[in-house]
Amino acid sequence: MRKHYTAAFKAQVVLELLKEEKTVSQISSEYGIHFTVLHKWKKTALENLASVFEDEEKKSTTVLKKQHEQEVNELYSKIGKLSTQLEWLKKKSGIDVE
């Protein structure tokens, strides 16, 4: 069973990694977390560090853009599915409407 850690816990552990007062192996054994997971958390934190300093308006705009893109992709998927179903129904019913 996979363990799930809170964002606050991950941040605390990553801060310890960044302090470099202990080795990754020491932190790994102290918290019982595999060292590859710790490296992944550290990498993720460093990659997203700049977003901490972005203003809230830019963050909300970015979130809205991502949501919009996801919604558009879902709608295109539905359109494709419905088009396929319509063509199948036309073919099976013998209706030739064009």
pLDDT for 5-19, tens place per residue? 999 999 999 999 999
- Encode pLDDT of 46-84 as tens digits: 998 887 877 777 777 888 899 999 999 999 999 999 999
Residue 33 makes CB contacts below 8 A (sequence gap 6+) with 5, 13, 27
Give how far the C-alpha of residue 79 lies from the chain's centroid of Cα atoms, to the nearest Å: 25
- Encode pLDDT of 16-39 as tens digits: 999 999 999 999 999 999 999 999
H helices present in 6-55, as ranges: 7-19, 24-31, 35-47
Q: What is the DSSP letter of 61?
A: H
Dihedral (CA of 29, 33, 39, 44) sign? negative
Question: Band of the pLDDT at 97, cuts 50, 70, 90?
Answer: low
The C-alpha atoms of residue 16 and residue 39 are separated, in whole angstroms, by 12
Its pTM stands at: 0.53
